[in-house]
């Protein structure tokens, strides 16, 4: 009765979690209790043992693991006290129905809104259920089969040449980036790109970098960690204010010209040219964060700023919005004079991105899978945007939406009667709908008593968008 067959009978979820518990027996005796508890807790938290699964009896599990029965009893009691398990006389022990499969409390993963129907419109996440699992798996198999043995050695810190060629082609074709593969550096995303540039510019004597206000607070934190002061420079309707930039003292500026985050504006042609004039005159550098440049819905894409003057613009992008942020794969296209410094920083940071991941992405791009994925997301996100805009029009008449031509979020300005903003946000939070105000991003150029919201919609299926707007409207009317 104590063989492995017994415990497997308690359910498929249990079988899958079984091997998580195996390290218990191998641990030194005095640590076994702790190892077992932590492994069991993790199996429940991660969803590898589903809610409702009945666990084997303490006697069975102890025999299977080759540990004392008291150890298992203790673990069951501890996890019951913590709420992961439930016990009833005669009915055994099972996984509590109140445990939601998720990362442990305090983990960043909790912030991923995609899986949580109550999280609402927090911006920044694509729909992770659109990730092309089958195609990705097939590309992994092909890339691994094709990679020569030497391709498993220490990577080139610049990135796999095959991927740099593929990315250069992709960016040139889709975004009008002038990308010589020799100037492409593969990195782990836009965040790392900013850190690399901050460090490289620091070596050249830069002490400050201008950032957009409103803008992404995260970039400011990254620059600070790289030893660079972030100087907020205000926007107007055409983009970053060039006079304020000139007065800032910074010789580098970080921009989101295709779809400013969070305001959603696209920089005007005149403003682009003014900023490039500044960069040339100041021997400066513009850093183009093309975080959602892949998604544009109603008109021809605005080409990348970098294409206008590759010597004065560094361009950064990633697969975080088109595939998944968890892949940690991105690229940086830098002016020739900065390549060596950036690559040396990449080298001392991590010696280069994982080789096989890079071969996989190269495969995925060159076979056309990446373009297919972009088309698929583009269709889904355009529909969601339309649904959100329509729902706001219906439930919040008079709302002004902007920044809707591209990206994964819009700006909504609700009429004054829904304010004050703080009270509105409190009612939304009580209704369980996550919302972030424009003011949270360091400034609101059109502050006029209306409620200004940055609403991410890409992660929400249309029906959930309608439902969440409905909840908001009910809450706003005090129901």
By CB under 8 A, which span of 78-86, 206-214, 281-289, 365-373 interacts with its own copies?
365-373
> Six-digit token pair at 129?
């259920």
Smaller CB separation from its own copies, 319 or 472: 319
- Residue 48, classed as helix, strand or coil, is coil
Q: Which helix (H) or strand (E) covers residue 413, if one does?
A: strand 409-414
Name beta bridge partners: 211: 232, 254
By CB under 8 A, which span of 83-91, 249-257, 268-276, 350-358 interacts with its own copies?
350-358
Smaller CB separation from its own copies, 83 or 326: 326
Residue ranges in 45-64 that form contacts with its own copies under rule CB under 8 A: 45-48
Is residue 340 involved in binding its own copies (CB under 8 A)? no
Nearest one of 143, 186, 123, 181 to 319, comparing CA atoms = 186
As measured in angstroms, the least distance from the Cβ of 178 to its own copies is: 8
Q: For its own copies, which residue of 2, 42, 386, 443 counts as binding (CB under 8 A)?
A: 42
**Cβ partners under 8 Å of residue 141, min gap 6:** none
Site string for its own copies, 300-329 (x = CB under 8 A): ------------------------xxxxxx
As measured in angstroms, the least distance from the Cβ of 199 to its own copies is: 9
Smaller CB separation from its own copies, 229 or 244: 229
Residue ranges in 149-178 that form contacts with its own copies under rule CB under 8 A: 149-157, 161-162, 165-166, 168-170, 172-173, 178
- Separation between Cα atoms, residue 34 and residue 27, nearest integer Å: 10
Q: For its own copies, which residue of 92, 354, 432, 443 counts as binding (CB under 8 A)?
A: 354
Q: Which helix (H) or strand (E) covers residue 426, if one does?
A: helix 421-430
CA 170, 171, 173, 177: dihedral to nearest 10 degrees? -160
**Cβ partners under 8 Å of residue 5, min gap 6:** none
- Separation between Cα atoms, residue 313 and residue 254, nearest integer Å: 10
How big is the chain, counted in residues?
479
Smaller CB separation from its own copies, 97 or 237: 97
Beta strands at 285-289 and 252-255: parallel, antiparallel or unpaired:
parallel
Smaller CB separation from its own copies, 2 or 128: 128
Site string for its own copies, 122-151 (x = CB under 8 A): ---x--xx-x-x--xx--xx--xxx-xxxx
Residue ranges in 212-271 that form contacts with its own copies under rule CB under 8 A: 221-222, 225-226
Is residue 202 involved in binding its own copies (CB under 8 A)? no
Is residue 353 involved in binding its own copies (CB under 8 A)? yes
Residue ranges in 178-197 that form contacts with its own copies under rule CB under 8 A: 178, 181, 187-189, 191-192, 195
Most distant pair of Cα atoms in the chain: their distance: 82
Q: For its own copies, which residue of 6, 23, 273, 470 counts as binding (CB under 8 A)?
A: 23
Q: For its own copies, which residue of 229, 311, 356, 473 counts as binding (CB under 8 A)?
A: 356
Smaller CB separation from its own copies, 80 or 366: 366
Query: Mind giving me the DSSP string for 15-28?
Result: HHHHGGGTHHHHS-
- Separation between Cα atoms, residue 380 and residue 458, nearest integer Å: 8
> Six-digit token pair at 229?
């002061």
Is residue 121 involved in binding its own copies (CB under 8 A)? no
Smaller CB separation from its own copies, 57 or 306: 306
- Separation between Cα atoms, residue 166 and residue 362, nearest integer Å: 6
**Cβ partners under 8 Å of residue 446, min gap 6:** 413, 452
Contact predicate 312/284, CB 8 Å = yes
**Cβ partners under 8 Å of residue 463, min gap 6:** none
Residues in the interface with its own copies (CB under 8 A) total 92
Smaller CB separation from its own copies, 158 or 251: 158
Smaller CB separation from its own copies, 58 or 125: 125
Is residue 204 involved in binding its own copies (CB under 8 A)? no
How far CA 288 is from CA of 59, 190, 341, 438, in Å, comes to 62, 10, 18, 21
As measured in angstroms, the least distance from the Cβ of 93 to its own copies is: 21
């Amino acid at each position: 009765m104590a063989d492995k067959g017994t415990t497997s009978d308690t359910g498929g979820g249990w079988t899958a979690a079984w091997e998580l518990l195996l390290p218990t027996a191998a641990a030194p005796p005095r640590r076994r209790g702790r190892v077992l508890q932590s492994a069991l807790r993790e199996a429940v938290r991660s969803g590898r043992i589903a809610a409702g699964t009945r666990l084997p009896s303490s006697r069975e599990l102890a025999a299977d693991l080759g540990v004392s029965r008291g150890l298992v009893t203790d673990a069951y009691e501890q996890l019951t006290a913590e709420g992961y398990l439930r016990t009833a006389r005669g009915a055994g022990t099972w996984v509590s129905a109140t445990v939601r499969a998720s990362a442990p409390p305090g983990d960043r993963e909790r912030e991923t809104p995609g899986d949580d129907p109550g999280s609402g419109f927090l911006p920044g996440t694509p729909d992770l259920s659109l990730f092309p699992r089958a195609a990705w798996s097939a590309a992994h198999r092909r890339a691994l089969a094709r990679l020569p043995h030497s391709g498993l050695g220490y990577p080139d810190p610049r990135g796999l040449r095959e991927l740099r060629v593929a990315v250069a082609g992709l960016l040139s074709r889709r975004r009008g980036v002038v990308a010589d593969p020799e100037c492409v550096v593969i990195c782990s995303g836009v965040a790392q790109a900013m850190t690399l540039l901050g460090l490289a510019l620091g070596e050249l004597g830069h002490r400050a970098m201008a950032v957009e206000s409103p803008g992404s607070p995260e970039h400011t934190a990254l620059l600070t960690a790289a030893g660079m002061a972030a100087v907020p420079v205000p926007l107007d309707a055409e983009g970053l204010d060039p006079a304020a930039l000139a007065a800032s003292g910074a010789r580098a500026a970080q921009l989101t010209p295709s779809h400013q985050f969070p305001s959603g504006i696209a920089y005007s042609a005149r403003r682009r040219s003014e900023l490039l004039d500044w960069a040339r005159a100041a021997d400066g550098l513009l850093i183009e964060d093309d975080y959602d440049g892949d998604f544009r819905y109603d008109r021809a894409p605005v080409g990348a700023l970098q294409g206008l003057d590759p010597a004065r613009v560094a361009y950064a992008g990633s697969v975080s919005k088109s595939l998944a942020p968890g892949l940690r794969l991105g690229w940086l296209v830098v002016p020739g004079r900065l390549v060596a410094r950036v690559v040396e920083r990449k080298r001392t940071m991590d010696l280069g991105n994982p080789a096989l991941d890079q071969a996989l992405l190269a495969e995925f791009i060159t076979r056309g899978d990446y373009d297919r994925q972009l088309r698929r997301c583009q269709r889904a996100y355009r529909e969601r945007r339309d649904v959100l805009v329509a729902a706001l029009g219906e439930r919040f008449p008079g709302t002004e939406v902007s920044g809707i031509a591209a990206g994964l979020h819009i700006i909504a300005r609700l009429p004054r009667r829904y304010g004050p903003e703080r009270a509105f946000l409190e009612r939304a939070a009580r209704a369980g709908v996550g919302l972030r105000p424009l003011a949270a991003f360091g400034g609101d150029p059109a502050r006029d008593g209306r409620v200004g919201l940055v609403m991410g919609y890409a992660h929400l299926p249309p029906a959930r968008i309608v439902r969440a707007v409905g909840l908001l409207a009910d809450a706003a009317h005090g129901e």
